[in-house]
Structure 1
Amino acid sequence: MYPHLVFDLETIPDAHGLRQLMELDPELPDEEVVDIAMQARLEQTGSDFMPLHLQKIVAIGCVFRNKTDFHVKCLGEPGDDEATLIRSFFKVIDHYTPVLISWNGSGFDLPVLHYRALIHGVPSRRYWDKGQDDRSFQYNNYLSRYHERHTDLMDVLAAFNLRANAPLDQLAKLCGFPGKLGMDGSQVWPTWLEGGIDEIRAYCETDVVNTWLMYLRYSLLKCDMDQTAYDAEIKLVHDSLSAISDQAPWDEYLSEWSL
């Protein structure tokens, strides 16, 4: 079963890229650049959400579960640039070859990582392998939608039907887990402008914990673990978070979760 890596990105509009592509004044502040781009996007598409290649990564939250331990953290440090965060992510994959787990990773997180890694020139031999280096990757790799080396839980549970997709927050709460705490993706950019990278990273960490808890429930459904093993995994998560409950946001998270 191990190791497993749950991942989630938090992104903001790429002001530098937008300034370049829209040929805006180099001295124009990022906030104004993004406002102009969002307004143009809204007029064109009915939504101000930037296309995936113009999503700049500011946090990568991870749960890492190996045979003995459970860890949750955001990669790197709050001041790290985007390229450094991407290198850190692929370094984990190249070293451990974990099973990747996400919620909408196929629809958002991985395409964003692909585009942004391309922009920064960040390689990863293991991630992109489709059998060239390891023949087993021909039949189970990170890139194929129906392989299990990356499990996009939202996609799988919706039976690969976009119209059936469900939000993580609601499903987590329906399953008895805390879900999101006070922030959603639409608030990341305003929070970033206020210097709230620590809040963004904390929000990202709760998302990956929610995703891991949902993955454990999914593993119970498909009989990859029995009830005893499932209960033990849930307790491990709860106990691990209790041990760091003096750090935001885990005290609040645990207060919303009754075992």
Structure 2
Amino acid sequence: MSLPRDVHDPEQAAEASIIGTFLNAVGDHKPQLVGYNSQSADLKILLQRGLASGVQAAEFCRRPDKPWEGIDYFARGTDAHVDIKEIVGGWGKATPSLNELAVACAVPGKLDTAGDQVAELWLDGELDRIVAYNETDALTTYAVWLRLAFFAGHFSVDEYATEQQRITDLIDHLVASRPVSQMTSHLTAWQQEWQRLRSIC
């Protein structure tokens, strides 16, 4: 699910609506969060902007009485929130960027927009480009996470191939089901680059 669903709807495009919808959906459904530098950056930014915007996210913030009794998105080193950077990185120069790790894993990295451009895009009202950036960044992060899970033995070769096919199927579905007014070229470009990289590696 990409937020906002309609970048041209001022109510959906409001910062408080985007952050509140995301945090409350996570709080209600309790999925495993997977990110890259998400523990130090993404989650902290969402919390800070949620506070500043007056969002309430009680279920997201609810912590178990004992660490083993439930999901705690704030605790480091739990399965509730996996930060790939903390798993593969070290201190300083030993830590690759998501783009570097993705390319090394034959996964498309940054295609058009980089994370440091998002604030400027927001100020310029280019929410459609932010959504496009977030969607490709999420695909990249997920594909790298799949590679990490395969590396750790959580998938067989066939299961890993099936999971990769699910990414392709998801992109095909998104491109086919979106209205013409919504951008899809970034999804097609990501998928084509992924197919190219997989064919040569």
Question: When the two structures are superposed, what TM-score results if normalisation uses the length of structure 2?
Answer: 0.81
Kept in 2: contact 1:75–1:89 (CA 8 A)? no
* Structure-2 separation of matches of 1:199 and 1:238: 21
- Equivalent residue letter for 1:176: A
Which runs of no fewer than 5 residues in structure 2 stay unpaired? Answer: 177-183
Change (3 A) 1:128 1:189: closer
Identity among equivalent positions (%) equals 26
For structure 1, which runs of at least 5 residues remain unmatched after alignment? 1-71
DSSP-derived class of the 1:151 partner: strand
Flag the 1:74–1:180 CA change in 2: closer, same or farther, 3 A: farther
Q: Secondary structure at the match of 1:141?
A: coil
Matched, 1:77 2:6: yes
CA–CA separation in structure 2 for the residues paired with 1:204 and 1:122: 21
Q: Quick one: structure 1 residues 165 and 126, their matched pair in 2 at CA, closer, same or farther if it must change by over 3 Å?
A: farther
Query: What displacement does 1:229 show?
Result: 1.0
Q: CA deviation at 1:123?
A: 2.6
Residue 113 of structure 1 aligns with an amino acid whose one-letter code is L
TM-score normalised to structure 1 length: 0.64
> For the structure 1 residues 236 and 115, does the alpha-carbon distance in structure 2 shift closer, same or farther, using more than 3 Å as the test?
same
Higher relative contact order (CA 8 A, sep 6+): 1
8 Å Cα contact 1:242/1:254 also seen in 2: no
Contact kept in structure 1, 2:113 and 2:133, CA below 8 Å: yes
- Whose helix fraction is larger, Structure 1's or Structure 2's? 2
Q: Deviations over 1:119-142 (max 9, x none)?
A: 2332323322221499613xx521
Write the mapping of 1:26-41 to structure 2, written as runs, cut at 5 A.
Answer: none
Q: What are the residue-to-residue correspondences of 1:20-169 with 2, within 5 Å?
A: 73-78=2-7, 79=10, 80-132=13-65, 136-137=69-70, 141-158=72-89, 161=91, 163-169=93-99
Shift of 1:254: 1.8
Encode CA deviations 1:181-237: one digit per residue, 9 max, x unaligned.
111123234434544221121011100110000111111111122211111000110
Match of 2:145 among 202, 212, 215: 215
Q: 1:252 corresponds to which letter in structure 2?
A: A
Query: By percentage of residues, which structure has more strand?
Result: 1
* Gap change, CA 1:155 and 1:133, over 3 Å in 2: closer
Any conservation in 1 of the 2:63–2:72 contact (CA below 8 Å)?
Answer: yes
- Give 1:116 shift: 1.8
RMSD: 2.3
Aligned to 1:248: 185
Aligned residues: 185
